[in-house]
Structure 1
């Protein structure tokens, strides 16, 4: 998800970085060898091109839209099989709180195009939602099936997988240490700077912030109710939908940041935490994952060994 502002910098190793906009979000790559930055950037762009062609809900010609329109089993690419498998795994691990079949409901709420093309207020759409859940999706190897009328949205998990894939690919083709930041979904690979990748986590210039050091191979994801938001009639909505209610999750949390061994794992927990509200505290605590949750009153809750250096926090 696009989340709290992220800034990262390496120390003790000469680093180079590139910033750009894509998918209506800020993207960033840092490598520990300035000579390979151009190669690294091209590798990331190539990976993102492939993921967009495979899984973009906003591209009518994307493979995932063809699959949904087919309405019967079809063989899909290895990449889409990986992305769809990741979405189904996230659904299973969260008891359906992170569900890839919410696409139709997002359209109904007004998120029917890339967020850059939306106005702050959207028209009220007629009801189009077909009752659906992730268990209706079939995937066996590279053969997938989606019932006709079910609209898939792999947004959160696909972006997290993209970060993991981009970091791994850059390290594979350059040998350099790398941090990839796709709108707050951060993955790393290769040798990290001596004191780790320094990442600043904050909601904005006037919000509580925290600096964390990511070691090599670790990832961080932040989910937010502050970004990708709009108004539907008189109601404020955002892009993280609770599949059980069909509405945007109650904004108990402004942001949820989680550290895990992969960006997919971190994103799965951070997204589900937004949906679970206050129940997320015990759930994350049981998983012993470092996490930082900023509630609607801007109070910070840290769990699982997250550095407890915020000036205004609760446990």
Structure 2
């Protein structure tokens, strides 16, 4: 078992592999994938592929397979969460960010007057190799982009080496290939979880460094503060991330909602009180985006 940790453009990266061969190429592969993500949906003002789509102001634009994958994941997350995670909150995020140039968004102008979003994601047209985003809608794919990239990195490393792989990008954790006999150890949200395959995602409202604003699409404002952080397990990291972020948006009713979906989760309130669903054991796949993958959280540090 080999492990590497580093920071890439503010993203904390952790890669664990079961074989030495994968450890030699893991950092190079993950760094390249994060660089490609930045070119596609980066924070450079007007310099990403998504910025070109915004500049088209409703005209269909031919896009790369990578951007198509990111948009498809964001739209699937919106459908899964009934719009709680909506990629068209970009204008609201721009307004809430710390400067008028919006460090969270790869957009090309700042003269925006955002309004609440209601099912704005349904106005985005992702076709066969093309994307249409009507003006003045601004897409922000950050909510699910790391999850997509973690999944891609884990699958690529496992396919190339045949080893078991865990890739964590920030709070998005993906696994692929053979699981170690004692499972994967995943430190998340102040505790350590044991994961027997599948994925985990943690979304938090507090922590070190600048916090990306969380927006309730129905108001265009941050949701009422109820949870400090939420961790969800699922077969796929995009599903896990969508549900963890949606729980912060839903607030007090999030635990019951996740339990109704059969989603194993750990919700930490602002006062430190912990609520769990599914007892963090026997985790099933959640959501139509996933095929069953034998996800199972085997232990918790608290």
Q: Tell me the TM-score range normalised by the shorter chain.
A: 0.7 to 0.9
> What do residues 217-273 of structure 1 show as CA deviations (whole Å, max 9, x unaligned)?
x1000011114886xxxxxx8511111111122220000000000100100100000
Could you tell me how far apart the structure 1 residues matched to 2:21 and 2:175 are?
Answer: 18
> What do residues 143-169 of structure 1 show as CA deviations (whole Å, max 9, x unaligned)?
210112322110011111111111001
Q: Kindly indicate whether the alpha-carbon contact (under 8 Å) linking 1:57 and 1:153 is maintained by their aligned counterparts in 2.
A: no
1:282 aligns with 2:256: yes
TM-score normalized by the length of structure 1: 0.81
TM-score normalized by the length of structure 2: 0.85
1:222 aligns with 2:178: no
Look up the match of 2:14.
Answer: 28
Residue 166 of structure 2 aligns to a residue whose secondary structure is: strand
Look up the match of 1:119.
Answer: none
Could you tell me how far apart the structure 1 residues matched to 2:174 and 2:95 are?
Answer: 32
Look up the match of 2:31.
Answer: 45
Relative to structure 1, the CA distance from residue 169 to residue 59 in structure 2 (aligned partners, 3 Å threshold; closer, same or farther) is farther
Look up the match of 2:107.
Answer: none
Alignment of 1:1-315 (within 5 A): 15-71=1-57, 72-111=59-98, 112-114=101-103, 128-129=113-114, 132=117, 133-203=120-190, 209=191, 211-216=192-197, 218-227=198-207, 239-306=213-280
Q: Kindly indicate whether the alpha-carbon contact (under 8 Å) linking 2:186 and 2:193 is maintained by their aligned counterparts in 1.
A: yes
> What do residues 169-224 of structure 1 show as CA deviations (whole Å, max 9, x unaligned)?
11111221111010111000111211100123334xxxxx3x321113x1000011
Relative to structure 1, the CA distance from residue 229 to residue 277 in structure 2 (aligned partners, 3 Å threshold; closer, same or farther) is farther
Residue 241 of structure 1 aligns to a residue whose secondary structure is: coil
Higher relative contact order (CA 8 A, sep 6+): 1
Runs of 5+ in structure 2 lacking a partner? 105-109, 282-298
Could you tell me how far apart the structure 1 residues matched to 2:158 and 2:233 are?
Answer: 20
> What do residues 29-88 of structure 1 show as CA deviations (whole Å, max 9, x unaligned)?
111112331212111112212222112243522111101111211111111111101101
What do you get for the CA RMSD once the two structures are aligned? 2.2
Structure 1 segments of 4 or more deviating over 3 A?
A: 111-115, 227-230, 307-311
Q: Kindly indicate whether the alpha-carbon contact (under 8 Å) linking 2:230 and 2:268 is maintained by their aligned counterparts in 1.
A: yes
Figure out how many residues of one structure are paired with residues of the other and give that number. Answer: 275
